Each structure stands twice: as structure tokens, then as C-alpha cells.
Amino acid sequence: MAISESDVRHVALLARLALTDEQVGRLQTELNSILGHIDELQGLDLADVQPTAHALEVTNSMRSDVVKPCLPRELALLNAPESESGAFVIPAFGGTGEDA
């Protein structure tokens, strides 16, 4: 199945992309090339190939969980733009609850 110029323009319209005529032509060529590669892949005999999520064997390598002392509160608040009573002050977000 080949991608036509009108197909490219339709997809661009759906994606709300403004494309020049040059971009439409280039995308048409590139998409048809991609579809050609997919056609080649679909022609392969993969009956004896096991499905895999990764090409190589992958194992989780996690560090051991070591308990360490916490960062002192004063040090954590050192770079805060604003702090109050030993806590970060953040801008209010959401409603005040009076709107509901």
C-alpha cells in the first residue's frame, strides 16, 4: 500500500501540522520507504524465532539497600527559595475549597 500526497495532507491536518509542498513530498517518500521495509519484514519466515522483549538477556542489577543517615533539615532547606518553621514554602495551587 502506497501513501499518496492526499494521505500525507490528511494526516497532517489531523495532527494540526502546517506542511509546505516540499515537506509533503519528502514525508510521502519517507513514509513509502518505511512501508517498503515493513513489507520486507512481513515476508520473512519467523516461525522458529522465539518472541523476545530484548535482543540480549537482561537482568535487574540493583544496589543493596543500605540505611544511611538523612540529610539534615537545615541543609535540605539551605537552597530553598523560601522556608518557614523548618519546612518548604510552596505556592498555593488548586482551589481554596470555597469554590466547591
Confidence tier at 99 by pLDDT (50, 70, 90): low
Q: What is the pTM of this model?
A: 0.49
Span 23-50, pLDDT tens digits: 999 999 999 999 999 999 999 999 998 8
How much is the pLDDT for 67? 92
SS3 state of residue 84: strand
Q: Tell me: the pLDDT tens digits for 49-95?
A: 888 888 888 888 888 889 999 999 999 999 899 999 999 999 888 76
Cα–Cα nearest to 28, from 1, 48, 50, 51 = 1
Please report which confidence band the pLDDT of residue 3 belongs to, taking 50, 70 and 90 as the band edges.
very high
* Cα separation values, 50 from 44, 57, 58, 70, 80, Å: 14, 13, 16, 47, 53
